[in-house]
């Protein structure tokens, strides 16, 4: 039986879509309002999906207490209520689009020790959502 | 291929307890879910059937038949029940979202797949069972096929 467990988390953060190598007019042309030099924020909803065998002793793919603690420590503590461009080192040289946030989080959460990461979902607003399952077949 | 999803809700109570664990171990592993009196959720079940629409009807299957299957196999069994004690398929198991989703798959797969047989209007196959325990926790079961 193929089972995938999804758990949703929330964080609120600001960002600015801006390529430092481009003049501001080019940034505004490409990123529109998102290039506003003072940044802006979103209430992000993160969907973490994990898969693997169900432990017969617990009936679980992973204990949610373990997953919650891991996400708190490795994502929320760093991503919630911050300015992503300035305060998350991964985005000092990477534009914090939702796509790039998904990739950064996927690469980071692959190290989760209690189950295999299947995919990362990110809702930036109720109208925009993104999903990333890695680039290789190992996570298909 | 068309994927058709029907959603139903049921409310039920459960508790997590492994008799092979000590009381302390049960509390450590299962936390609040080990409360011996149980606790409840409003489960949301989404059942997705995959198939080609019948050229005569334009439908993958008769939704009324799917609705009846969900009523008979799932809601009559699980709605307003204590899952550990009142659902025979879960007896002796720990009714986590994973376990319930797998059980629902096993109950539905033969019923939905036989809809393609003579006397029934439809030819869909069960594609996915998605079970929400809360809006922030759900499990997808896709059987053994993929």
Instruction: Say what the ipTM of the complex is.
Output: 0.90
d(CA B17, CA B94): 7
For B102, name the nearest residue in chain A, comparing CA atoms only: A1
Residue B76 lies in a domain: yes
Q: Is A18 designated active site? A: no
CATH code, domain with A87? 3.30.479.10
pTM for this entry:
0.92
pLDDT tens for each residue of B7-45: 999 999 999 999 999 999 999 999 999 999 999 999 999
* pLDDT value at residue A137: 54
* pLDDT value at residue B56: 85
For A3, name the nearest residue in chain B, comparing CA atoms only: B141
**B24 inside 8 A of chain A by CB:** no
Q: Are the Cβ atoms of B136 and A8 closer than 8 angstroms?
A: yes
Residue B146 lies in a domain: no
| Choice among B80, B98, B114, B120 that is catalytic | B80
- Residue-number span of the structural domain to which B136 is assigned: 2-141
Antiparallel, parallel or unpaired: β A3-15 and A82-83 = parallel
Does residue A50 contact residue A67 with C-beta atoms inside 8 Å?
yes
- Residue-number span of the structural domain to which A124 is assigned: 4-61+70-139
**Across residues B93-118, what is the average pLDDT?**
94
Report B:39-58 residues touching A (Cβ under 8 A): none
CATH code, domain with B98? 3.30.479.10
Number of folded domains in chain A? 1
Residue B109 lies in a domain: yes
Whose CA is closest to B68, among B120, B106, B25, B16?
B120
For A50, name the nearest residue in chain B, comparing CA atoms only: B139
d(CA A92, CA B69): 54
Number of folded domains in chain B? 1
Q: How many CB atoms lie within 10 A of CB A3?
A: 23
Residue B55 lies in a domain: yes
* pLDDT value at residue B145: 67
Residue B46 lies in a domain: yes
């Amino acid at each position: 039986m193929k089972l995938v467990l999804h758990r949703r988390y929330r964080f609120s953060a600001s960002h600015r879509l801006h390529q430092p190598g481009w003049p501001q007019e080019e940034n505004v042309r490409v990123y529109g309002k998102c290039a506003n030099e003072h940044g802006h924020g979103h209430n992000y909803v993160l969907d973490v999906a994990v898969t693997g065998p169900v432990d017969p002793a617990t009936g679980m793919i992973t204990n949610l207490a373990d997953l919650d603690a891991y996400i708190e420590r490795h994502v929320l503590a760093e991503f919630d209520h911050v300015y992503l461009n300035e305060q998350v080192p991964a985005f000092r040289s990477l534009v914090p689009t939702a796509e790039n946030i998904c990739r950064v989080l996927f690469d980071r959460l692959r190290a989760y020790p209690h189950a295999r990461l299947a995919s990362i979902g990110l809702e930036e607003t109720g109208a925009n959502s993104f999903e990333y399952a890695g680039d290789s077949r190992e996570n298909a | 291929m068309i994927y058709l999803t029907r959603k139903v809700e049921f409310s039920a109570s459960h508790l997590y307890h492994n008799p092979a664990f000590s009381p302390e171990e049960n509390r450590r592993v299962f936390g609040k879910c080990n409360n011996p009196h149980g606790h409840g959720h409003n489960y949301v079940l989404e059942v997705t059937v995959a198939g080609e629409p019948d050229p005569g009807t334009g439908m993958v299957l008769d939704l009324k038949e799917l609705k009846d299957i969900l009523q008979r196999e799932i809601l009559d069994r699980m709605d307003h029940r204590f899952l550990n004690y009142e659902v025979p398929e879960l007896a002796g198991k720990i009714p986590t979202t994973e376990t319930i989703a797998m059980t629902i798959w096993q109950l539905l797969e033969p019923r939905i797949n036989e809809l393609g047989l003579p006397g029934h209007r439809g030819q869909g196959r069960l594609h996915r069972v998605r079970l929400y325990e809360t809006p922030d926790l759900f499990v997808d079961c896709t059987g053994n096929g993929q």
